Amino acid sequence: MRDLRDGLRSIRRAPAFTLIVVATVGLGIGASVTTFSVLQAVLWRPLPYPDADRLVLLDATINNRKNAGIAPLEMRELRSRARTIDRIAAVSGVSANLTIDGELERVFAASANDEALVMLGAEPPAIGRLTRDRQDIGADGYISAVAISDGLWRRHFGANPSAIGRHIQVNNIDAEIVGVLRPG
């Protein structure tokens, strides 16, 4: 009780000093909370994928060229020799020119094998189906089918389920829409 009385007397004697101390402590707490919130949102929050703590990213560098990719035969070899890996997926992010009903739009796209969308939790899709390596690659080796994002589906097709089966151009290659991914 004596310490409490002495503290209150000191506050009454030097109110300006007390105000500076309280403001400094308040700013320190505010800065700490803000920093923690940003770090939580950017670094510490788990990825929004199932079993995100089990995902591993492999990057191929060939002749000092980063993100060179892995050939299908190398993927098959990796898959056959893997002892501790459940699935192996290949994903390559690209910019694509999309032509829908004569309207051109530049979009972010990803070229991915069968397992990539499953690993990232895209199964089941909102409507339709996901793409399949063997079924959706044309005789020329190019894609013949795509699964589009929910945002693209709403923007260009008004969320109409009849978009499934429609044909669009992806980088001037004809592709059929086979599925729409769930939001997120």
> Which 3 state secondary structure label does DSSP give 101?
coil
Instruction: Quote the pLDDT of residue 139.
Output: 67
- Is the pLDDT at 135 greater than 80? The verdict is no
* 150 and 160 Cβ atoms separated by less than 8 Å: no
Averaged over 165-181, what is the pLDDT?
Answer: 91
Collapse the DSSP code of 41 into the 3-class scheme (helix H, G, I; strand E, B; otherwise coil) and give the result: helix
pLDDT single digits (tens) 17-40: 989 999 999 999 999 999 999 988
Q: Find, among 169, 181, 56, the residue nearest to 122 by Cα.
A: 181
Over residues 85-96, the pLDDT tens digits come to 888 888 878 889
Contact yes or no for 141/110 (Cβ under 8 A) = no
**Residue 112 token pair:** 């991915």
Question: How confident is the model over 136-170, as pLDDT tens digits?
Answer: 776 666 778 889 999 999 999 999 999 999 999 98
Does this model's pTM top 0.85? My answer is no
**Helix (H), strand (E) at residue 75:** helix 72-81
37-65 confidence digits (pLDDT tens):
998 888 877 777 788 878 877 777 778 87
67, 93, 115, 126, 169 from 121: Cα distances, Å:
24, 17, 10, 12, 26
Residue 6 CA neighbour count, 13 Å, CB half: 3
